[in-house]
Amino acid sequence: MTKRPVVLVVMDGVGLSDKEFGNAVKNAYTPHLDKLMSTCPNTAIRAHGLSVGLPSDGDMGNSEVGHNALGCGQIYSQGAKLVNESIESGDIFETDTWKALVNKCANGKMHFIGLLSDGNVHSHINHLFALIKRAKADGVKEVRVHALLDGRDVPETSALIYVDQLEEFLASVNDENFHACVASGGGRMKITMDRYQANWPMVEAGWKTHVLGEGRQFASAKEAIETYRAELGVIDQDLPAFVIAKDGQPVGTIEDGDSVILYNFRGDRAQEISLAFDEENFDKFDRVRKPDVMYAGMLQYDGDLQIPKNFLVYPPRIKYTLSEFLVNKGVKSYAISETQKYGHVTYFWNGNNSQKFSEELEDWVEVKSDVVPFEERPWMKSAEITDLLVEAIESNKYDFYRTNYPNGDMVGHTGNYEATLIGVEAVDLNLGRVMKAVDKVNGILIVTADHGNADEMYEKPKKEGDAPKAKTAHTLNKVPFIIYGADVEIAEGEFGLANVAATVAKLLGFEPDEHWLPAIIK
């Protein structure tokens, strides 16, 4: 094995686009990234669609599937594609879990909690429709939908499109023997969908809204959305919680004898609400009451920790990961990020495995994220991450290092262009520090990204003369792949994130695993 360490930097949400308008990557001051792109072997690689296991090339990539692909060197059916296959085959409805959910609510209600959009990153509205249709066919009498509003993976003020679709669908299935309606909701960044235990009050707010029926009451989801928009002027993801009521009473609190399905398929923002339903000795907030329900997720969001205990679709069984390969070779590795992306360089990187393959050879470091709006502190924890990463590199204790700088993605999701410029510049500033540390130890640096986001910060106006609207979703653009410090040649061909594992192995002096896609270098 070569004695030269390899450092992999993932600039989360930093895609490549030649367009200048609204491009916080191209328009930011990034002297280090510019130098790398102009002087080092580099190419653009795919980070969305089929290249990361999603149903089509029209599907945006995301950090979860991106880090799965980076860490295992293969393409697995992921997220929406996995669920699509299970629904199309009918397998999802033949599981013991589905049958038990139906039986549990024979004299109660079946509740569906999830992101209401067709963004295909956390959920898809068509999955909700398929589940409700089958619930009716299997004899469920009452269904309630708790709709989390998106505006992040889809246009920022598109919620009414999906609410209208849902209401039209529910009207088509309702009859004298079956009744379904919307019971509650709110913006995804206000209630329910926190991740990495960064903001438990968000989950508590969701619990009070969905389970207890506490909150401001409206006659319909449409009325709630229109009222909040007029009063607050915020985008969908930031709309406050609402409860649908009739004659002053919530129409869909969650009670003993009900079933609850979280129909999101992506795991990071699904785990905390799952714990609130599953854990007997839950201590993150006062649930007031824990109804006797059967709870299930669309997927099991963490297989090792069994979150949740019940689920409908099995996740991809990822084998032959880079981490396991390196452990078997005796290679010591170091992974670091802040809370917002710590799970991506650990759990998702290791093939949806929350445990290390070796306590002796793998060190994981989490820098606690600040609980503040990202646009208010767009540099996030980039300096603290770099402090520790540089210290680790200069210690010469490890052979492979990986980190994720979340700024381009997390700040990009706010839709604040000026803040995202600062976020991208903060990453570049710290990239320069990493480069110096790599030089000191005669190492090799790989710089890439897991998907685009900051590269397109505005939606194209529908009419000429209209002001551009902020774009908060990921992009379909390719991402950079750069090698610094090694005299190598980029191979010919079309590459994606799943080609990175073999490249890392090759730079470390190993023959890549036979199950992986080819390396990006000759």
Task: Report CA-CA distances (Å) from 4 to 155, 372, 398, 400.
Answer: 45, 39, 10, 9
Consecutive H or E run containing 164: helix 159-173
Residues with Cβ within 8 Å of 17's Cβ and at least 6 positions away in sequence, in order, are 23, 25, 26, 452, 455, 456, 475, 477
My answer on whether 241 and 365 are in the same domain is no
Residue 514 resides in a domain:
no
Residue 208 resides in a domain:
yes
Residue 306 resides in a domain:
yes
My answer on whether 161 and 60 are in the same domain is no
Question: For residue 404, what are the domain limits?
Answer: 6-78+317-507
How much is the pTM?
0.77
My answer on whether 293 and 329 are in the same domain is no
CB 367 within 8 A of CB 338: yes
My answer on whether 362 and 235 are in the same domain is no
pLDDT at 331: 97
pLDDT at 1: 43
My answer on whether 349 and 475 are in the same domain is yes
Residues of the chain with pLDDT under 70: 1-2, 303-304, 462
Please list the active-site residues.
63
My answer on whether 123 and 134 are in the same domain is yes
pLDDT at 305: 75
My answer on whether 464 and 419 are in the same domain is yes
Residue 520 resides in a domain:
no
- What single DSSP character describes residue 210? I
My answer on whether 207 and 97 are in the same domain is yes
My answer on whether 85 and 205 are in the same domain is yes
Residue 430 resides in a domain:
yes
Can the peptide bond before residue 308 be classed as cis, meaning omega within 30 degrees of 0?
Answer: yes
pLDDT at 245: 98
The whole-angstrom separation of Cα 70 and Cα 65 is: 9
Consecutive H or E run containing 86: helix 79-89
The whole-angstrom separation of Cα 507 and Cα 490 is: 12
* Greatest CA separation for the chain: 75
- Each residue of 98-124: pLDDT tens digit? 999 999 999 999 999 999 999 998 999
My answer on whether 345 and 252 are in the same domain is no
Instruction: Quote the number of domains for the chain.
Output: 2
* Domain end marker among 267, 285, 313: 313
Residue 274's CATH number: 3.40.1450.10
Q: How many CB atoms lie within 10 A of CB 246?
A: 10
Long-range contacts for 358-363 (Cβ within 8 Å, ≥24 apart)? 358/327, 361/326, 361/327, 361/330, 361/331, 361/332, 361/333, 362/323, 362/327, 362/332, 362/333, 362/335, 363/332, 363/333, 363/334, 363/335, 363/392, 363/398
Residue 436 resides in a domain:
yes
My answer on whether 165 and 49 are in the same domain is no
Consecutive H or E run containing 436: helix 417-440
Residue 120 resides in a domain:
yes
* Domain end marker among 313, 331, 360: 313
State residue 454 phi and psi, 5-degree precision: -65, -15
The whole-angstrom separation of Cα 245 and Cα 220 is: 8
* Domain end marker among 313, 330, 361: 313
Residue 352's CATH number: 3.40.720.10
CB 519 within 8 A of CB 493: no
My answer on whether 123 and 215 are in the same domain is yes
pLDDT at 303: 63
Q: How many CB atoms lie within 10 A of CB 106?
A: 11
Residue 268 resides in a domain:
yes
